[in-house]
Amino acid sequence: MSGHSGSRSASRTGAQATTRATAGASRQGSVFFIVGVIILLIALLNITLVLRSYAQNVGQLNAVKNQEAQLIQQKADLENDIQRWSDDAYVTAQARQRLGFIYPGERSVLVKNAPKDAQSDAARKTTVDTKPKLPWYTELLYSIENTDQAEKIGSEDVQSEQAAHAQTGQGMSSQNANSQNANSQTSQN
């Protein structure tokens, strides 16, 4: 039995060594698996950050392209304005329309409260304003003076309205007092 027991101990030692080797291999396998998962997660995180950066850059590129298109349109509009304003006929028309300039010997026509359908030239020429058109700076001073006078008149009107309201309020209070006195006299009788 001693030979047999020796082989048993040898087989136990071999089995234990095989178990240890298997356990060591499974530990190494699980470590490799965990390291592989961590590397995979880092790679996914890196790809996600790259895609996010790409999406932001595409958004910025589209915004810049839109801004470029707006600037090109604005440039075209400004070049068109420059061409129009270099034309003497356009400048004359704008001076007449915006500033009310007239040539010497012409009469200025001003249509007040014109109906919306009477926008034709014929309708404008039928109504004549006999008041001569003043230069713009004279009209500006005249309007400032009128505004100041209107403010003075307006403040006087406000004061007179306040006085009228105060008197009406006092009249109302005296009427209320008289009606209360009459009510008390009737209740006493």
Q: Is 111:127 a contact under the CB 8 Å cutoff?
A: yes
Residues 127, 119: Cα–Cα separation, whole Å:
12
Q: pLDDT tens digits for 144-174?
A: 888 877 676 766 665 666 565 555 544 444 4
Sign, Cα dihedral of 139, 144, 145, 147? positive
Kindly tell me if the per-residue pLDDT of 104 is higher than 70: yes
pLDDT digits (tens, 9 = 90+) for 36-73: 999 999 999 999 999 999 999 999 999 999 999 999 99
pTM, full prediction: 0.36
pLDDT in tens, 116-137: 765 555 555 555 555 667 677 7
Residue 128 φ then ψ, to 5°: -115, 130
